[in-house]
Amino acid sequence: LRNGPMTSSRKSALAPGARNDYQHRCRSGPELEETPMKDALTIYQYHLDSVSQLIWDRDFEGVTALMTYPHELATARGVTVVDRPETMVDWAREFRAHLDQLGATSYHRVAVAAAISGEDESEISGFHRVYVLSGATHLIDPYISEATLKLCDGVWLGSGVRAVLRSTRYPVDDEA
């Protein structure tokens, strides 16, 4: 279970650069004044909180609305490309069942750092710490993940997550 929450073994057959009916078309230039939040860390944390709450509440359709497609989920087990909302629903349902199996009473993701990136400033790249708890007890060791958001029609949507788990390759600073 130390391999992190993403347990799906589904792989996409979508060819690199190929488009599908579900792919969101992100606009090329953000107008940050149109978004209610301008600080990258605040936007990033808001997105983390929104998706985490939807997963916790089992609103898997709601999760799909906050993502772009294709969407990459990377863990120690490999990269899974989620090519459409229905696949994201399956993944989110499977992940929520995993939290139940662990006996989780809460699931939190806390932003550590985030910055606006991309040539046209239409992306946010960030890092966050993941906590899976039963009461105040950690069910798994907290771990760091990174995520990317893209600005699409004035809304920041998730475009990928990479779980950075405790290992000699990715040391985790417990002071962070």
- Please determine, for residue 164, whether its predicted confidence score (pLDDT) is greater than 90: no
Q: What tokens were used for 9? A: 């073994």
User: Phi/psi at 102 (nearest 5 deg)?
Assistant: -70, -20
Q: What is the pLDDT of residues 121-141, one digit of tens each?
A: 899 999 999 999 999 999 999
**Stronger pLDDT, 109 or 75, i.e. the higher one:** 109
Q: What tokens were used for 6? A: 């993403």
**Stronger pLDDT, 49 or 24, i.e. the higher one:** 49
Q: What tokens were used for 52? A: 């985490």
- Please determine, for residue 1, whether its predicted confidence score (pLDDT) is greater than 80: no
pTM, two decimal places: 0.74
Taking residues 142-168, what's their average pLDDT?
A: 85
Q: What is the pLDDT of residues 33-77, one digit of tens each?
A: 444 557 999 999 999 999 999 999 999 999 999 999 998 888 777
Residue-level pLDDT at 77? 74
The CA distance from 61 to 43, in Å, is 21
Q: What is the average pLDDT score of the chain?
A: 77
Residue 41 and residue 130 in contact, taking contact as beta carbons nearer than 8 Å? no
The CA distance from 82 to 90, in Å, is 10
